[in-house]
Structure 1
């Protein structure tokens, strides 16, 4: 659903750019609370994985394909604020390096594919988790439903933007019907990928799934004849846990490289949902050439490499590498800012406690 330049007029594109910038600013602050010793290392990997899976277009109807948007997956794995940042990093890399998604339409794409998908998916996910039994299977089922609904929600968001600032005259009812119809089908693929990924991580390290935290039943203690919740124990991660964490990261990175570098060659070559609707209804009449169309990696191929399999594979591997480095760098900075922000308060608390103890001793 990468919107190219020329589909949406300049004022609307500028407005969505402001919305996207504001959401990213809010997410940078919110991610400080989400990025801890578990989510911080995983966040950059999630961005790289989304980049890799987005290269795997799957057929959904005659002559139409779809691909992962990733908002639901990112929000459930690392948290909604961090999830918005993950998808935004992917879209930025795709737009600048691979000429995928217009540069002037970057605000449109971040709003649709990062903000709307994350907000809709995570709100639905949290609601379902509260209603369903507190089990890992419930998390997987909720992730399926959340991902399924997030895709047509993004399609509706694009339809609204087109109604406000579309550059061609197409009846909005036709746009809405076509966009929602095809993206409901794409949503099924999104739901399957999201549920399988969340389920796989839960099976190995459930503590790494942000959306699954707090699902374990609290230990009960009997105090004065009544059952009360035992206080949470937060031990330091053991050496085996840290090793397991690194193993998950290594397996995730290897999987991303294989998907982008090899499996992507077998992806569907049919236009995706937005491209198909745009071509069928004339939305693309004023589409503009991408600003980085002459990039060495444009269209997910390496310039001057004639072998299609090798060219696409190299581009995919480069994309995964650049995305994991860029994402990890962003989240490392955010995590460090959190440490800097909490240190003074922790120091003040320690000083206050010491002072109180000294006074008591006197």
Structure 2
């Protein structure tokens, strides 16, 4: 998903850079409402986890591989605006220190993974959370579906940018098929990791999970009562 230097023309890269800068500026003001003394450390831990997760690739199909994006994972744990900041910090460090994604393409990568994936994914999560049971299972189901859809959403956004300002001699149809097919499979891995991590945090500190705010602690934890009763016996 990391776009390298020179893959998009200067005008497109400049446009995504401006969009990314404006989004980050807005996120800096909005994130204050999502963070407090209890949740701020979780934001740092989540960013560190996403950074590590993005450095590990898992096999997908036909010799291709994918890695965690972490947009929905971060948004559900610490909120969408804080997630934008976390993703931007991760992508900046990767571009500067590890050459993972180009510096001139940093705005593009922030737009794709720090804006599109976060806002689309979190929008899907909130929509599903509104209709699913307000329990731990409901939160995890909404997180998983949102994570699956966030990856192809970012991939399709890249296809749109490539159609506008791609500099590589590739047919648009080839780019569409390559991005959508592979990234649907990558989305399944994204969902598995997201559900596992969100579930682990819900199991010990549901009060810290932004996506579970407004739910009674008993409702979030009630799915675990039979297991707990069985263990007590």
Q: Name the TM-score, length of structure 1 as normaliser.
A: 0.59
Deviation at 1:130, TM superposition (A): 0.6
5+ long unaligned stretches in structure 1: 219-362
2:70 corresponds to 1:66: no
In 2, distance between residues paired with 1:55 and 1:15? 27
Per-residue Cα deviation, 1:127-176 (whole angstroms, up to 9, x for no partner): 10110011011101110000000000000011001000100232212211
The structure having more radius of gyration, on CA atoms, is 1
- What are the within-5 Å matches in structure 2 for residues 41-52 of structure 1? 41-52=41-52
In 2, distance between residues paired with 1:217 and 1:94? 37
2:12 alignment counterpart: 12
In 1, distance between residues paired with 2:27 and 2:168? 34
Which has the bigger relative contact order, CA under 8 A and spacing at least 6?
A: 1
Deviation at 1:39, TM superposition (A): 1.6
1:194 alignment counterpart: 194
Extract structure 1 runs of 4+ deviating beyond 6 A. Answer: none
In 2, distance between residues paired with 1:116 and 1:143? 16
- What are the within-5 Å matches in structure 2 for residues 1-362 of structure 1? 1-216=1-216
Deviation at 1:62, TM superposition (A): 2.0
Q: Name the TM-score, length of structure 2 as normaliser.
A: 0.91
5+ long unaligned stretches in structure 2: 219-233
- Find the residue that maps to 1:58 and give its secondary structure: strand
Per-residue Cα deviation, 1:100-132 (whole angstroms, up to 9, x for no partner): 100000000000011001001100000101100
1:226 alignment counterpart: none
Per-residue Cα deviation, 1:182-206 (whole angstroms, up to 9, x for no partner): 0000000000000100000000000
In 2, distance between residues paired with 1:217 and 1:67? 32
For these two proteins, the number of residue pairs brought into alignment is 218
In 2, distance between residues paired with 1:38 and 1:107? 31
Deviation at 1:41, TM superposition (A): 1.3
- Find the residue that maps to 1:66 and give its secondary structure: strand
In 2, distance between residues paired with 1:96 and 1:217? 41
